[in-house]
Every structure is written in C-alpha cells, then in structure tokens.
Amino acid sequence: MRKRSVGAIGLLLALVLVLAACSSNDSSPSTASATGSPVPTESTATYSASEPIDYSLEYPELWKMDESGDPASPVQFFGEGVSIALNIEEVGDASLDDYASAAQEQLDSIANLTIESQADSTLGGEPAVTIISTQTKGDSSFKRAQTFTVVDGQAFVVTYGGTEDRFDADLGTAQALIDSFTF
C-alpha cells in the first residue's frame, strides 16, 4: 500500500538522523538535570516555521540547532549524546492510525531494534502516537522516542534519541520540547 511505504520513509529518515547524531562525539552542554528535568525557561529559544503549515516549538538554548533547508527534515537539535529531529512528510489522506501502523511495520523490520512501548499522546494539541524503541549497533545501545501526528495531510514526527545511558537524563528536556510544539 502506497500510504504505508510513504509513511515509513519519514520515520526511517528520522531514525537514521538521530542514530547518526547520537553516535557522534558532540560536546554541547546538556541543559537537563540528572533527573531529566528541564532547566528554567529562560534558557530556551523558539523555532518556528510556516511551511507546510504554521508550527513552532521551544528548545534548549544551549543545544546546537541545525536547519537543513530540506522541507522534509527542517531542523535538528543536538545536546550532549542526544538529539531531537523534526521530520515532516506528506501522507495524503492517511489517518494517524494508518501512519502508526506503517511506522510499527517499518520499525519491526529494522535489525536489532526492539519496540518497548507504543502509546497515545499529543503533539501540538493534536492526537498523536509515541513509540519508544531501543537498538544496538556494535557495542553501543541507542534509545528513541518518536512522537507523531497527522495534520492536514502532513505527518509531523519528533524523534528524540540518544545513547541509552543519556536518554533518561535528558528525557524531561525532550518532553518539554514536545509539549511546547504548537500548530
């Protein structure tokens, strides 16, 4: 089915970007406490765009931001051993359930990847799905949380990932970014 293969492309792209970012030796300072709680709000900045529809989010000011110029993968944020990527993909009339099914199929096909959980959530006030997975690559283990929704024929995918030992430490910061997302 074309909808499923289209949906899987964005999800796979997000996984590749986050895995590549997490395996690099980024020395940017982390902005989360040891418990994973976000730092005070004065240390955030706002990213906003109007294509394909208006959206914005807040991110840790000390994290490195990389705007790719690619509408399908407009921005990625890097902390110490973690990253957050935004991917946008046209999915036509596919529903959130269609996209979630395609995402799960794609993740199930990736070697050494285990889906730990899948749950209903929200992104920008819209119904969303969050999938948490782990993957081993050589001697390293990575953990990812992908939250996605479908709005106006576009899938918005926010992927937070990091080395398994850093994931929980910055989870609060990642959740604050996801919670700040608005359409």
Task: Encode the chain (183 residues) as per-residue pLDDT tens digits.
Answer: 444 444 544 554 454 444 444 444 443 333 333 334 444 445 899 999 999 999 999 999 999 999 998 999 999 999 888 899 999 999 999 999 999 999 999 999 999 999 999 999 999 999 999 999 999 999 999 999 999 999 999 999 999 999 998 999 999 999 999 999 999
Q: What is the model's pLDDT at position 80?
A: 86
* Distance separating alpha carbons of residues 167 and 82, to the nearest angstrom: 7
Q: What is the model's pLDDT at position 10?
A: 52
- Could you tell me where the DSSP H helices lie in the chain? 2-22, 96-108, 164-167, 171-180
Task: Using alpha carbons, list the distances in angstroms from residue 112 to 3, 119, 138, 143.
Answer: 25, 21, 10, 12
Q: What is the model's pLDDT at position 39?
A: 42
Q: What is the model's pLDDT at position 40?
A: 40
Instruction: Give φ, ψ of 58 to 5 degrees.
Output: -105, 145
Q: What is the model's pLDDT at position 54?
A: 96
* Distance separating alpha carbons of residues 60 and 45, to the nearest angstrom: 6
- CATH architecture of the domain formed by 2-180: 3-Layer(aba) Sandwich (3.40)
